[in-house]
Chain A
């Protein structure tokens, strides 16, 4: 049965000077949201702290003085007080935590007090702190009163370490564990008493001795079993470590393969680029000849046709010489490309040769142009034609340069990743893993054998106990004791079976409800299928295809949604779910997550107090849940008096 808040009074607490009283509407399902609007610094967090303080005073003297409203503190004497009327297990109660400040000998005496009142009878309850602990245990406050920052912290912690104890306390599991332990003690006590009766009667001594021997044997088996379980845990931990290492090796091996492939591809690119470079060099060195391709063709054609000719090319040779001289003088080709120094020398040589050819044309004899010359010219022409287009070569080189630059970057990154990862022996790891598996199997077989022995001894003890019970049942003194003992033993067996099943059931409940809440809020409902609660109560999100989402892959917002879903399901799985008081709970949440979270609130079977700034709950979002809002309050600030009050809107 859930706890509902009815009326809150705050006096001289932090930003709340004087007394502020807020009355809450009776709890109604589906209309369970109470919004307290407040600007930054107006007192939302002070309100949250007031409730935390009310249920658990975690402050020392200095801390209490710091919580006292500053104007009241200036006066030097007075009190601060938080009082809450609420319904717990259908009963109206009032909890008051008050601190008196009194000036004594130049210092302030601080006297805290607490009272719990049964409102119907007006009676003061005793053992107040114990009772408060039953209503909202200190450890479970984090699942009841929380702010955005706390959710963020919880979201981080949730993935690092299970907070098993607190969670089990909220779920009511320790009480059942305690019952098992207490029943065990009671059974021992009753058996001792029974032994006394048996001794008084002077018979069945052998039976008692035999039971003692069997008990010792059982204890020894249990001890051995616990030792073996410890060993199994150790083996499993070592196996997990090995698996992590193996996964790392696989990842490293993959990266090494990638690196090798990239290095090979780089070598190919480099070779291809070198070939292009050579082609470019050849092209440039042949540049003058390229300019002469046309005339050369003509020479070859005419040479072939007119091998008997004389000075028919003189003018042409001289014309080419003039052209080359001009190019040399300008230092660049007609199309603008500069002439490298080495090429310049070639051009100069060619110009000289053409000059000589032209000058000597008058005396050229038939024998000067022979078939050998023509063949050489033909070969030269073919080479020139094969050497390609200069622009295309340049483009090709640029492409290779770009590819090399890109692959160099990848290689650098991979090298950086692999730096510090020594080459690990996979085979050795697999062998170790195998040995561990074998050890684990052997240990489990040993445990099975022990369990067999234990079951046999327990049965023998039961049989002997029955004999003993029969012996004591026959006496007036022994009969009631034996009946009590028998019932206690049966109860012990019940609680022993119950505790394991209860833990499993609670985990299932939390898992299912956390999944319900999470899938309603998440902005990836088609991808994420649910939440799994592991043995240590840490969480993991799994996808629709069954794969687990690595925690580090979850965004900060997603982790908060996960934490919120878990906290909510946990509180609501407790025997007495408490109201949620959330101070600016939306931390890293995007609008889609915020919408989802807001829409989930009306489904909760408890009051939900939202302490929000206008940024946390803009009008548009507020309007979406208006039908579910029971009340709205505004924190008003009197800036002259540095004091806040809460008024209903």
Chain B
């Protein structure tokens, strides 16, 4: 979520978001899925051992695919 007013720093956040959408579109990937994975990694970035993260990524992808099918 971005803050209401458009300071240069909000614009930065917006550009970041724009880039994420742009690159996702280039590879025909749902940007929400990509963002979800980035958010997951953001919560683990400080950890030296990121156990089970590959499994979590797989689950997120599988869940995304099953929701798409429904």
Q: Which residues of A contact B (CB under 8 A)?
A: 1-2, 29, 90, 130, 133-134, 137, 169, 172, 174-176, 178-179, 182-183, 185-186, 189-190, 480, 483-484, 487-488, 490-491, 493-495, 497-498, 501-502, 505, 509, 512-513, 516, 572-573, 575, 577, 603, 605
Contacts and interface: CB of A to CB of B under 8 A. Distances in A.
B15 A491 contact: no
Nearest to B31: A494
Nearest to B9: A572
Contacts of A505: 15-16, 19
Given A178-B50, A480-B62, A491 B33 contact: yes
B27 A133 contact: no
B61 A573 contact: no
Nearest to A179: B41
A90 B37 CA distance: 22
Contacts, number: 116
Given A178-B50, A505-B16, A605 B7 contact: yes
Contact of A497 (B27, B47, B61): B27
7 contacts: A176-B41, A179-B40, A487-B29, A490-B29, A491-B33, A497-B23, A505-B15
A573 B11 CA distance: 10
Contacts of B65: 480, 483-484, 487
A483 B1 CA distance: 30
B68 to A, nearest CB: 10
Interface of B is mostly: helix
Interface of B: 1-3, 5, 7-10, 12-13, 15-16, 19-20, 23-24, 26-29, 33-34, 37-38, 40-47, 50, 53-54, 57-58, 61-62, 64-65
B12 A573 contact: yes
A178 B48 CA distance: 11
Contacts of B23: 494, 497-498, 501
Closest 9 CB pairs of A and B: A175-B41, A133-B46, A175-B45, A179-B41, A175-B42, A498-B23, A572-B9, A494-B27, A509-B12
A565 to B, nearest CB: 13
Given A179-B57, A491-B29, A494-B27, 14 more contacts: A133-B46, A169-B45, A174-B45, A175-B45, A176-B38, A179-B40, A182-B54, A182-B57, A484-B61, A491-B27, A491-B33, A495-B37, A497-B26, A572-B9
A491 B41 CA distance: 14
